[in-house]
Amino acid sequence: MPQRNSTQQHAAPASTFKVAAIQMASGPNVAGNLSEARRLIAKAAEQGARLVVLPEFFAIMGMNDQDKIKVREQPGHGPIQSFLSETARQYKVWLAGGSIPLAAGVPDKVLNSCLVFDEQGKQVARYDKIHLFNLELGNERYDEAKTIEPGTQVVVVDSPFGRIGLAVCYDLRFPELFRAMKNVDIILLPAAFTETTGKMHWEVLVRARAVENLAYVVAAAQGGYHVNGRETHGNSMVVNPWGGVLDRLPRGSGVVIAEVNPSYQASLRASLPALGHRVLF
């Protein structure tokens, strides 16, 4: 699977900095969701966050699977993308726009795309979700492939905060994706995990990806009951490279914030050089 690196090279940060995961319970009204996102981004910035992550489909959790197709945008154009650019610039943060629906290669589908904007409001990366969720369990039925076209490229962003790897929700279950990122410092994970799967698997998977890659994980989730009747697990969290949960929010809208310590991460990687011990079969 090909890898795409975005932006110019930056030196690794020498001092600590704060990151934030935004948790929402988005609904079908795009304008209302953007207003709530702006409020929470402002709150994160006020607390000193320099890197902020929104949840999957933060701008639209429709009444049905077709609603996101109705508000899809062309790359580089549209109110959701303008919002992300303007808000990143306004609050002087690097902003990962959770995921948004972008136009796909076929008219009845979208790409589930995570866009990253720097503090000047410039888009510096785009990752299209590769793994599409499918579940048939009891009364629950999900089949993302009906309305979403999968991405094909692993994306890593060279940033002032180190190497950042991008993933979305169901990607979390596939550790080979994160290995393909090749030694990232921070993993950003927007998500909308269902309560059914999330209560058993979410935390253990988030912490496992942190431990396996000796990386910080910023996991920003949808969390609560939605107008469409769906229940998402929440528990947005920031996890350190040793697997410790630095902060979390069980349910509802809010901000999870924590400090990233590059020196601590470097010391762990020196003490346990597991990334250099990998054997590929």
- Residues annotated as catalytic (active site), given as ranges: 56, 129, 169
Nearest by Cα to 17 from 222, 116, 159, 208: 159
In whole angstroms, what is the distance from residue 196 CA to residue 80 CA? Answer: 29
Dig out the tokens for 226 from the structure.
Answer: 């939605």
Biggest CA-to-CA distance, the chain? 51
In whole angstroms, what is the distance from residue 93 CA to residue 222 CA? Answer: 21
Q: Name beta bridge partners: 127.
A: 114
In whole angstroms, what is the distance from residue 54 CA to residue 60 CA? Answer: 12
CB-based burial label for 137 (10 Å; 0-12, 13-18, 19+) = exposed
Question: Taking the CA of residue 140 as centre, how many other CA atoms within 13 Å lie in the half-sphere pointing to its CB?
Answer: 14
Q: Which of helix, strand or coil describes residue 238?
A: strand
Dig out the tokens for 246 from the structure.
Answer: 């630095």
In whole angstroms, what is the distance from residue 86 CA to residue 80 CA? Answer: 10
CB-based burial label for 276 (10 Å; 0-12, 13-18, 19+) = exposed
Asked if residues 238 and 21 have their Cβ atoms less than 8 Å apart, the reply is yes
Dig out the tokens for 270 from the structure.
Answer: 């020196």
Asked if residues 152 and 126 have their Cβ atoms less than 8 Å apart, the reply is no
Q: For tokens 């966050």, what's the residue?
A: 49
